[in-house]
Structure 1
Amino acid sequence: MDADTPTPLTAPLSALAFRRATVDDHARVVAAIPDWWGLPGTESLWRLLPRLFFQHFADTSTIVDDPHADGGLAAFLIGFRSQSSPDAAYIHFVGVRPDLRGHGLARILYERFFDEMRASGCRRVDAITGPGNHRSQEFHRAMGFTATGDTEVDGVLAWRDYDGPGEHRVAFTRPI
């Protein structure tokens, strides 16, 4: 499915528009992250999404606009095809505005990404999340991802020090 092709949506999502990310989207996406995540310790989570993702991976990243909302941002997916492993793609960051959750919007974003990456020759998609982000872990499992790790962190299989000392991550992979 082409990223610019309209996707059939449920009634609450029918006014939303899917499009490619641009550099101009960076500021409003990072501004949304603290409110949308709302988890303790995630106040600086936006630092994991520097402008370079919008400069260099715009052609594989999606913005969902809501023309009826203040600020207009409904959701986003920032992902890319691996340069080192051309059969793999990586979903780096995904967000759905809290009032739009539960309507399948994240699933639509993921499925569109899977379709695009499969068409480009990828055979798997990877993603990571923190051990404390149970909502993300549940979503990834529901989407068919398998978690990996080398130890248990807070009752969850995770990779200890994945992103540096004390920065443990749950790694997911899914064949496409």
Structure 2
Amino acid sequence: MTIRNATPDDCQEIHTMICELASFEQLEHKVCSQSDDLKKALFEKPIVAKCLVAEAKAPQSLAAFALFYHNYSSFTGKQGIYLEDIYVRPDHRGTGIGKKLILEVLRYARENNCPRVDWAVLDWNQKAIDFYRSLGATVMSDWRIARIENP
């Protein structure tokens, strides 16, 4: 398994995995993006996100991805990282690839002087919560996500 930066040619398969993730999260009705939107975000200026992929050796296809972007913390006075999505296809779960992807995101954060990495996890996804805690993450019960759609 190889972890590498996504390329424009990966965008269709990454988008397929985004749809797989949405289905797993019972949120497929919320996906309105297309692979071209992803390609624009990752590769056209201004570049607004970064994506790492895990490529399986045989058959040569993508097994997982981590999509993230910079944010800013007024408390730290520095940019941080927000991990928008991490997804490992079912056939590759339990192989350590999710951990490797997160460790690569953390390495990127250190190299770019980002003091923290944040992400959200659904409260019913106990396997993910346990996994994140095993990596040293704190799952904060005192914060909630607020959102206004289509402002």
Q: Tell whether the structures are fold-level matches, with TM greater than 0.5.
A: yes
Q: Is the 8 A contact 1:77 1:95 kept in 2?
A: yes
Gaps of 5+ in 2: none
Mapped to 1, the partners of 2:13 and 2:29 lie a distance apart of 15
Q: Is the 8 A contact 1:17 1:64 kept in 2?
A: yes
User: Counterpart of 2:147 in structure 1: which amino acid?
Assistant: D
State the SS of the aligned residue for 2:118: strand
In structure 2, the CA distance between the partners of 1:147 and 1:101, relative to structure 1 (3 Å rule), is same
Mapped to 2, the partners of 1:144 and 1:47 lie a distance apart of 33
Mapped to 1, the partners of 2:31 and 2:110 lie a distance apart of 28
Q: Is the 8 A contact 2:53 2:65 kept in 1?
A: yes
Q: Deviations 1:99-143 (Å, cap 9, x if unpaired)? A: 111111111111111112111111111011222322222222221
TM-score by length of 1: 0.65
Q: Is the 8 A contact 2:2 2:54 kept in 1?
A: yes
User: Counterpart of 1:54 in structure 2: which amino acid?
Assistant: L
In structure 2, the CA distance between the partners of 1:24 and 1:127, relative to structure 1 (3 Å rule), is same
Aligned pairs (5 A) from 1:149-160: 149-150=141-142, 159=144
Q: Deviations 1:45-67 (Å, cap 9, x if unpaired)? A: 64479515423256x42112224
Gaps of 5+ in 1: 1-15, 151-157, 166-176
Alignment partner of 1:54 is 2:42: yes
Aligned pairs (5 A) from 1:34-113: 34-35=19-20, 38-39=23-24, 41-44=26-29, 46-47=31-32, 50-51=37-38, 52-55=40-43, 56-57=47-48, 60-69=50-59, 72-82=61-71, 84-85=72-73, 86-113=78-105
In the other structure, the counterpart of 1:163 is 147
In the other structure, the counterpart of 2:6 is 21
In the other structure, the counterpart of 1:117 is 109
Q: Is the 8 A contact 1:89 1:122 kept in 2?
A: yes
TM-score by length of 2: 0.74
Q: Percent identity?
A: 24
Q: Deviations 1:132-160 (Å, cap 9, x if unpaired)? A: 3222222222211112244xxxxxxx61x
- Alignment RMSD (CA, Å): 2.8
Mapped to 1, the partners of 2:8 and 2:90 lie a distance apart of 24
- Structure ranking higher in helix proportion: 2
Shift of 1:33: 3.5
Alignment partner of 1:133 is 2:130: no
Mapped to 2, the partners of 1:164 and 1:148 lie a distance apart of 21
